[in-house]
Chain A
Amino acid sequence: MVRRNAAPNSAVRGPNSALTEFLREKGVSAREIQQQARQRLQQAQAEAQRAAEEAAAAKAKAGADDQDEDQDEYQDDEEEVGESSAAGARRRTRASASNARSKSRRTRKDEDDDEEMDDVFDEDEEEAEEEVKPRRGRQRGAATSQSTPQTTESSRKRKRMTTVEVSLVALGEDSESEPEETPVRSKKKPTKAQLKKMKEREARRNGDEEADSDSGMDLYRVSVPVPGQIAFCAECNCRFTVTPYSREGPDGEGLLCHACGKKSAPIEKAENKKKQVTRTNKKSSARALLDGDHSEVKTLQELCIQLVAKHIDDVEALGDIGSHNMDKICQIISKNRSLNDHTMKLFIEPADHVLRFYDCSKIESDSLRQIGAFLPSLRRLQLKFCGRMRDDCLDYYGTQLKQLESFEIYGAFNVKEETYVRFFQNRGRKLKEFGVSDTSRFRAAAMEALVDNCPDLEVLRLKTLTNIDDECIRLLTGLPNLRVLEISEPSLDLTDQPIIDILNTCGSGLKELNLNGCFQLTDTLLEAIHSSCGQLEILELEELDLLTNDGFSALFTDWSINPGLKHVNLSRCVLLESSGFARMIDHSARALEKLSVNSCKELETDAWDFVMEVEMPVLEEIDVSFIRSVGDGTVEGLMKVAPKLAVVKGWGCFRLTESVGLKEGLHLVGREADLLT
């Protein structure tokens, strides 16, 4: 503070940059000046010593009373006014000493500027300082071009800003120019970290200055790092010039030389980079938000599918995988709804005889067409949800797939009836299996073509067709070789008679009969099944709520021509009672693999008591959901009589509790206790 205070009064106050240049031209370096100053200081001290000795001698002569005190004070301060005889010499000493001090101060100041310029060249690499450089150059240019008083002012400002040795007094002097200065300063601050460091240093200095406001302690200042001074590195102990950017030592004491400071630079750089990265993250996340792009971690499956899709053309890169795996992969991809024009290529291998696409909803008609082009030897083709398929595609299949024996096309609601007719005309002779679903365009004409052209048809699945009526169904009597017949969930009401007619022609060979959701069917049908379906293995009569308990009892009583059903689905046949159920178990117990009596609410405990007494050696799955009589004992009993039981579905069975003892490998699905706890 004192130093600063003296500075404006000192004679050397010219344009600093000009002075620095001048000094450089003359070959005057800061070090020389400092050495000279030091020499002068030493001389002055020596002089003072001599004067003091003289004074002491004089004092010794004068009297011994105040000698001790004086000596002490002298040693402390060198400035204490002594006796009158010594006063002159002392005053001289003080003057010379202060002179030397002011000189050294001056040189130090010059050094400041000199070093500042050096800094610019020295520390170019440091990112934080890059901003500072051009600004300085600009200001220096401005300073030299301006007239002298302004220049002094601006140079003073510059010094204050760059070295941040803002003395309170100096601030007080420049109080008028302060407001316009502030924005400039804020612009100049390169980083927050640096600013913080500067502030710390400033605070420390202020504290120091308050502590020793006496001008006598000027020399002590050498240990306080001031830009421009020579200091010793806290780490490697080498000599170096302090700059505003010198880093502090590791323990907070002293400064580091440029080389040592640089060592820690990469860490800070990395930190800066990190900050930048987070900033860009913010930006990109904002962008993602605007784009409606949800940047969440993808599941491993998605990642794999993406990768597969990416390398879809390069089959070898994906490695060798058996065909059964390909079907599994197709299922997985379909499950993720990722089967599209691109991924479907993975599954098109010319040698294949079987192709199943489980979800074609994202495959264009033209891509589906490619199946016909690439797989002419296809025997079995199953396409689900192929709502995009158009007429030309099915026509192409009709001409192309000459080996086709099994064709299932589900959800192709765009394909017209005439196209089906043409397809049957082209391919009917070889066709053994056909399935169609979810279309209103498959009507009597298509059915007629099917019956006329496909005499060998064995499997026919008609699911959720909207325009199939009794007349249509009656046409199926022309297919004597049927093994599997499915007419499920038609929109129009179907009555017993046409189906009985069918059973009369092909019932003896029928293995599977699925009439789910044909609500109007009655016990008459069950009688027809009883009399004609000797080989029936799979019987599905879901939701046929007109079928009575007596009808079921009659079906399964004395049904000796049938050795036993494997799958029985009587879900929501709500009139089924314990007696009918017991008849069914009695008839098919040894063959039953899968049984569903979902929602057959009339089944009472006596039904289960009956089940406990029969052996069901091959039963694997049973659905007893929504039956009140089912409890822990029922499931435990089923486990005993059916050793192969693996799945028990017990949704909505309130009496199934946690305490039911399950054997290993048995899955009890839908138990309330599992869902609520």
Chain B
Amino acid sequence: MADAVDDQGSLTLISNDGFQFVLPKKTAFASKTIRNMFNKNSGYIEAKENCVKFEEMNAIMLEKVCEYFCYKEKFQGVKGQIPDFHIRPEMALELMTIADFLEA
């Protein structure tokens, strides 16, 4: 897709239980799905409101996802040892389906 995406500023991710997470767009665009949502050509309403509501994620999962976005941004391109990203085992399966959805 063309780069009709503005990665300046920030966006808000909302979980299904109402928690809001504000992230820099650049960070959140680690997810291709979110990135495509903010593509102007696709005309999603999310792009206008700078706000994405995830009906299928609760706050715990979304927090972990945001944590991962930051982790990825921090260590992307860093050579050598990268510290592990900690996920609790009981979250793993649910998080995996979410990650699949987000293409993260």
Contact = CB atoms under 8 A, between A and B. Distances in A.
Interface of A: 280-282, 284-285, 288, 295-301, 303-305, 307-308, 310-311, 314, 317-319, 321, 325, 328-329, 332-333, 335, 658, 662, 674-677
A311 B89 contact: yes
Nearest to B71: A297
Contacts of A300: 65, 68, 72, 95, 99, 102, 104
A304 B2 contact: no
Which of A297, A310, A314 has the most chain B CB atoms closer than 10 A to its own CB?
A: A297
Contacts of A332: 96-97, 100
Contact of A304 (B76, B79, B92): B92
Contact of B96 (A280, A295, A301, A676): A301
Q: Is the interface of B mostly helix, strand, loop or mixed?
A: helix
A482 B47 CA distance: 51
Given A304-B87, A308-B92, A332-B97, A297 B76 contact: yes
Interface in B31-70: 41, 43, 65, 68
A307 B80 contact: no
B56 to A, nearest CB: 12
A311 B81 CA distance: 23
B97 A329 contact: yes
Contacts of A305: 96
B94 interface: yes
A297 B97 contact: no
6 tightest A-B CB contacts, nearest first = A285-B80, A281-B80, A304-B96, A300-B99, A319-B90, A677-B2
Contacts of A295: 79-82
Given A297-B75, A299-B104, A304-B99, A321 B65 contact: no
Contacts of B22: none
Q: Is the interface of A mostly helix, strand, loop or mixed?
A: helix
A298 to B, nearest CB: 8
Given A301-B96, A304-B96, A325-B97, 4 more contacts: A295-B81, A298-B85, A304-B87, A325-B93
Nearest to B95: A304
Contacts of B72: 297, 300
Contacts of B76: 296-297
Contacts of A299: 99, 104
Contacts of A308: 92-93, 96
14 contacts: A281-B80, A297-B75, A300-B72, A304-B92, A305-B96, A308-B92, A317-B90, A319-B91, A328-B97, A332-B100, A658-B41, A662-B43, A674-B1, A675-B2
Nearest to B42: A674
A567 to B, nearest CB: 27
A297 B30 CA distance: 11
Contacts of A296: 76-77
A284 B83 CA distance: 13
A675 to B, nearest CB: 8
Given A301-B100, A311-B89, A321 B94 contact: yes
Contacts of A281: 79-81
Contacts of B91: 319
A184 to B, nearest CB: 36
A302 to B, nearest CB: 9
A317 B87 CA distance: 12
